[in-house]
Structure 1
Amino acid sequence: MDITRDTTEEEKRKRVVLALVLSSYLVVGIDGSLVITAIAEIASDLHLGDMAMSWVQNAYVLAFGGFMLAGGRLGDIYGRKRLFCISIVLFCIGSLGAGLSQTAMLMIVSRFAQGVGSAAMAPAALGLIMDYFQGKERVKVVAWYGSISGLGLCVGLVLGGAITSYGSWRWGFLVNIPLTLGMFAYAAKWLHRENTVKARLDIRGTILSAVAVFTFVYAIDGAKSLWMWLIVSSICLLIFGKVEREAVFPIVPGCLFFSKNRCNGYVARLLMIGALMGYNFAISIFLQNGFGFTSLQTGCSFLPMTLTTFCGALAVPRLVGKHGNIPVLLSGLMMLVIGFVWLAQARCDGPYLFAICLPMILIGFGQGLAMSPLTNLGIEGVDSKNTGAASGFVNVTHQIGGAIGLSLMVSTSEGISDCDMRFHHCMVIAAILISLALAITIFIQSLNVTIAKEKKDRISH
């Protein structure tokens, strides 16, 4: 056996896996933000009313959030290669349908298919990182994985603005076709058929989790009967908890919550993504209404944050290796707090460089430093049979956090007509959410230190 050849083959396989993981996350990120800038053109061409227009985005968000937990567990049961390939096909079909849509119904159904594909693709991609990379390599790949989210957002906003300004919005969806077909070809060739867990999918848990997340996201995403949908979601969640405790192979194993660090990762991630998602929406509106930016200019204005997010992520592996996840996470969260407090002072007649660009740089570095440690905490110490479940739960907290943050900012600022005051209000909420994430992280780590010290004292005596 040629050991050198085997080593070279495995290294090439890792590079392909890395490219697939990053490409999948980039495509999902671009698609999610592209619709924000293209929605007006889509509504005009397809003659969409306000309700249909909102469902073009809601269908994607609800499917993405509702099927994420099931997507993570399916990877454990049937293999991440199989699930990743199926998710690519679903996303490709959804993109084709959206790009060719002539009616509101076809567009909404296509967006739903894209959401289901994304719900399977995101946890499968994170699971592939856990399968193929260990130690310092995993820290580095997770850092890149986290930075791609911000890059996808910026590229999507710029691409959406450029397409709506100079071409047809349809190309924003159709460009996914060659990308996803190429991803499918490489995935089919290079991914291992890994060992799967011999178990049945928890059907009751899957249905209950999908309904609970679906109704919760719908409730806070503009449902008229807010409290009715929240009550339905709460009831489903309570029943889901009971079902999962009795299930032989639950889609959310209770062991995920035995670790304080993992719980820290889930809660802090939810709060941070809530702040960032609401911020992305609020600042896009502020720049267009207050500064008079076009869609393309608004997309380009995110470049300072995108570049610094990427730079921060590149520095994470070295910093985590030297200082550990928690100090890096705390530094990132503190930068985010300062950035949002700074942005809260912005005014429509202020200079873009000082009022928007400089705090954006801080927010970019903060996001780049914090995202990877949060992901590392969320999957820390998980055994191989629960890899998909942990990956799915990390992505669910990401999705739900974004929905909560966006809804909170939109609903509480609805009655504020002044552009400056509305933006100030949203940035204060973002700063509060990040401050809560910072406080929870400090509290849990202080608790860990106290417990470790008590254990050490007991052993010494």
Structure 2
Amino acid sequence: MTKDKKSFDIILLIILLSYFMILLDNSIIFTGTIKISQNLHLNQTELSWVTNAYSLTFGGFLLFGGRAGDIFGRKFIFQIGLFIFGLGSLLVSISQSATFIILSRAFQGIGSSFLAPTSLALLMDNYKGHARTKAVSYYGATAGIGASIGLVIGGFFASLLSWRYGFFINIPISIIMLILSQKYLAKSETNTGSIDYIGTITSLIGMIALVYSIDGESYRLISFIIAVISLAIFIYQEYICKNPMMPLHLFKNGERLGAYVARFLFLGAMLSFWFLTPQIMQTELHFTPLMAGIGFFPLTIVNFFVAMKVAKLTLRFGNGRLLAIGLSITLVGMLLVSFFSSHLGYFIGIAIPMVLLGIGQGLSLSPLTIAGIAHTEAEEAGAASDIVNTVHQIGGSVGLSIIIAITGLFSHNTYNIGMLIGTGFLFIALMFTIFLIIPSEKKSA
């Protein structure tokens, strides 16, 4: 192995490990939710905001982070993100109240918003052709594996030590990544231009207000009006801005548009599954947090092995058709888990559907990523990857908020209702794949 090849592999390791770390923290909270709610006296809505605060600032600043990477250099912004993320992890680990942990998670999300777009952009800078497809498949696999393993790690710490350790471990990892990135990442090129501050502020306010209008406790109508006005201003700003964070012409391609909508819905369903299932395991099956985390092994293990085959399967079936297969399998798994009851037990009620969810997730995330950045020029790669990550985070947050709000109207079978709504999300995502992504892919071939 040559020195260049070694450096190349280390660059891939830095990118994937950093991305893995931020996704890990997006899910590590789930198996510790019962302990966190008991420790900090949180209700279900406050608990959902511990997740949403992270997702919203993550998604809300993603476009800003990507643009800042283009202007100031991706390596520099990547390192700033590592610092903020590490500091935010420390703040979460010492939280003593609902307000403090929600604000700390929001701060941590800002660090993630700098890391995610620059990591994918750095990956695309270093890979071309089929090697890029293979690298993106690893990136997509990391998205699923990071979320799944986070559940296990969160359960381990919540059961044997404290949920706080799940965040504290990010501090040394962030420091190591900073050292490696300084040594192995080449200084990125910078571009002239300006940052769209109006777009950044209006998009962030709009998304936070939208989610609050769904599951907030008061002023929901006012929040919805603020969301509509802010998002309208954001779209107009992107239309008239010379250097927009989110170039609207990227949505004109049917394959990319379908991928954004499908990913939004897919993450809405899956984040709700990751949020609610560990709780149902602990309340209905009396699992410890660690047992609940281990209970996700059927999904995690299957997802890992399937995701490793995606590059070959894409060459055989095509990206769009493989995505349709993955979404169909995920839909069946989600439908099956919606019939869960304590009488069925873990293996029939949860483990078997999880196998299907693992297969479907493994087959879906990479094709969704590939379709989301399809047919982009080099100068558009950063913006396209930013939109992919933004949709990933905001879709999960909005989907979870919708499901929490609707299930809150019922006193019984709330988990089953939530999973049925998630099944509906996946069905709509499948329709967008069949009727928009696949035809657009064929036209571009």
Normalised to the residue count of structure 1, the TM-score between the two structures is 0.90
**Cα deviations by residue, 1:336-366 (Å, 9 ceiling, x for unpaired):** 1211222223221014222221111111011
- Aligned pairs for 1:285-434 within 5 A: 285-418=279-412, 421-434=413-426
- Which residue identity is paired with 1:385? E
1:36 aligns with 2:30: yes
Identify the match of residue 87 of structure 1 among 74, 81, 96: 81
Q: Considering only CA atoms, is the larger Rg found in Structure 1 or Structure 2?
A: 1
- Aligned pairs for 1:59-78 within 5 A: 59-78=53-72
- Which residue identity is paired with 2:141? S
State the 1:162 CA deviation.
2.0
- Which residue identity is paired with 1:11? K
Within 2, Cα distance between the matches of 1:57 and 1:425? 20
- Aligned pairs for 1:16-27 within 5 A: 16-27=10-21
**Cα deviations by residue, 1:98-149 (Å, 9 ceiling, x for unpaired):** 3344566654443232110011111111111211112222222222222222
2:45–2:215 Cα contact (<8 Å) kept: no
Gaps of 5+ in 1: 1-6, 454-461
RMSD: 2.4
- Which residue identity is paired with 1:282? L
Match of 1:435 in 2: 427
Match of 2:151 in 1: 157
For these two proteins, the number of residue pairs brought into alignment is 445
State the 1:281 CA deviation.
2.1
Identify the match of residue 271 of structure 2 among 277, 290, 294: 277
**Cα deviations by residue, 1:281-337 (Å, 9 ceiling, x for unpaired):** 232232222222221111111110011111111110001122220111011011112
Within 1, Cα distance between the matches of 2:388 and 2:441? 25
State the 1:76 CA deviation.
1.6
Within 2, Cα distance between the matches of 1:221 and 1:96? 28
1:46–1:102 Cα contact (<8 Å) kept: yes
- Which residue identity is paired with 2:263? R
- Which residue identity is paired with 2:62? M
Within 2, Cα distance between the matches of 1:355 and 1:44? 27
1:84–1:124 Cα contact (<8 Å) kept: yes
Q: 1:67 to 1:348 in 2, by over 3 A?
A: same
Q: 1:151 to 1:446 in 2, by over 3 A?
A: closer
Match of 1:456 in 2: none
Q: 1:28 to 1:414 in 2, by over 3 A?
A: same
State the 1:154 CA deviation.
2.7
Q: 1:317 to 1:269 in 2, by over 3 A?
A: same
Q: 1:287 to 1:11 in 2, by over 3 A?
A: same
1:38–1:160 Cα contact (<8 Å) kept: yes
Q: Secondary structure at the match of 2:114?
A: helix
Match of 1:254 in 2: 248
1:141 aligns with 2:135: yes
Within 2, Cα distance between the matches of 1:343 and 1:285? 14
State the 1:219 CA deviation.
2.7
Within 2, Cα distance between the matches of 1:445 and 1:163? 41
Q: 1:379 to 1:12 in 2, by over 3 A?
A: same
Once the two structures are aligned, what percentage of the paired residues are identical? 38
- Which residue identity is paired with 1:275? A
State the 1:8 CA deviation.
2.8
Q: 1:378 to 1:217 in 2, by over 3 A?
A: same
1:212 aligns with 2:209: no
1:234 aligns with 2:214: no
Q: 1:341 to 1:212 in 2, by over 3 A?
A: same
Within 2, Cα distance between the matches of 1:64 and 1:327? 30
State the 1:256 CA deviation.
1.1
Greater shift, 137-146 or 304-313, is seen at 137-146
Greater shift, 207-216 or 430-439, is seen at 207-216
Q: 1:279 to 1:55 in 2, by over 3 A?
A: closer
Within 1, Cα distance between the matches of 2:37 and 2:352? 35
Greater shift, 74-83 or 344-353, is seen at 344-353
Q: 1:221 to 1:9 in 2, by over 3 A?
A: farther
Greater shift, 105-114 or 444-453, is seen at 444-453
Q: 1:405 to 1:360 in 2, by over 3 A?
A: same
Within 2, Cα distance between the matches of 1:226 and 1:25? 34
